[in-house]
Amino acid sequence: MSSPSTVVEASGLFKRYGKVTALSGLDLKIHSGEVYGLLGPNGAGKTTTLRILSALEDPTSGFVRVLGYDPANQKIEVKRRTGYVAEAAVLYESLTPREYFEFVASTRGLPQSAMGRVAQLVSVFEIGDSLDVPTGALSIGTRQKVSVIAAVMHEPPLLLLDEPFNGLDAKSSRILRELIVLHVNRGGAVVFSTHVLQVAQDLCTRIGIIDGGRIVAEGTMEELRRTSGGVGKTLEDVFLKITNEEGFVEDALAKLRGDS
């Protein structure tokens, strides 16, 4: 049996915005068949990492390859082979979902048969009644579904999902989870960020905790438990321990209870 291939590799990755350092020497390696959860506090560098991997931003310095391509200098190749969902759906608000899917298909050079995949996803996510409504008039949840469909319609080997469950109801969240599982079972890989730690605990084959612009802990759920000395603890417990937020939460709860 062949070993899984590396789909993401980053070493010493830095990203600076003026005087602000968003990434400070991030190292990352992800293989095919993995659901990799990128977790961290607000401002830790999750979105910046995903945007660099999806060729939407260039790193300040460091090494990065996505499916063997340099996203800073081979943007088209990377975008053709990845699917990206932003934290807040970014759509052309004057276009209807039908028009937007056709636009995405044309920019990626997809065959007409790809629209069959779109029709299947439209049915699964139940947005058929919204296909001819301008996206600017759609609910947050429906816009998120449109964004997800656009990201996976070309069946890319790598999905990069930034808070993909935002705005989705329980039924649609379950469908998206199953879509992720099917994707990796077919040999693809998924990197996603989320603040819903139970979803990450249930879904991820490996988790990277990012803090201060670098990975501070990484592994399976059991490996992270051992790292934090918390056998049997939830991911929330482990996360708070590793990011040094456990004490803050305890103090905050004590204040809420009125403890002296």
The pTM score is: 0.90
Which tens digit of pLDDT belongs to each residue from 75-105? 999 999 999 999 877 778 889 999 999 998 9
Is pLDDT above 70 for 49?
A: yes
Q: Are residues 49 and 133 in the same domain?
A: yes
Q: Which domain holds residue 148?
A: 6-219
Q: Are residues 197 and 235 in the same domain?
A: no
Q: Are residues 149 and 118 in the same domain?
A: yes
Q: Are residues 184 and 235 in the same domain?
A: no
Residue 65, helix vs strand vs coil: strand
Q: Are residues 150 and 250 in the same domain?
A: no
- The answer to whether the Cα torsion of 114, 116, 117, 121 is positive or negative is positive
Q: What is the pLDDT of residue 1?
A: 36
| Nearest alpha-carbon partner for 168 in 159, 183, 178, 160 | 178
More confidently predicted of 114 and 18: 18
Query: Residue 142: which CATH number?
Result: 3.40.50.300
Q: Are residues 37 and 108 in the same domain?
A: yes
Q: Are residues 164 and 251 in the same domain?
A: no
Q: What is the pLDDT of residue 231?
A: 60
Q: Are residues 115 and 162 in the same domain?
A: yes
Please check whether residue 104 lies inside any domain of the structure: yes
Contacts of 234 (CB under 8 A, 6+ apart): 197, 198, 201
- Is the Cβ–Cβ distance between 125 and 175 less than 8 Å? yes
**Averaged pLDDT score across all residues of the chain:** 90
Q: Are residues 134 and 164 in the same domain?
A: yes
Is pLDDT above 90 for 192?
A: yes
Q: Domain count of the chain?
A: 2
Please check whether residue 195 lies inside any domain of the structure: yes
Q: What is the pLDDT of residue 158?
A: 97
Is pLDDT above 60 for 248?
A: yes
Q: What is the pLDDT of residue 2?
A: 44
What average pLDDT does range 136-161 have in this prediction? 94
Q: What is the pLDDT of residue 4?
A: 64
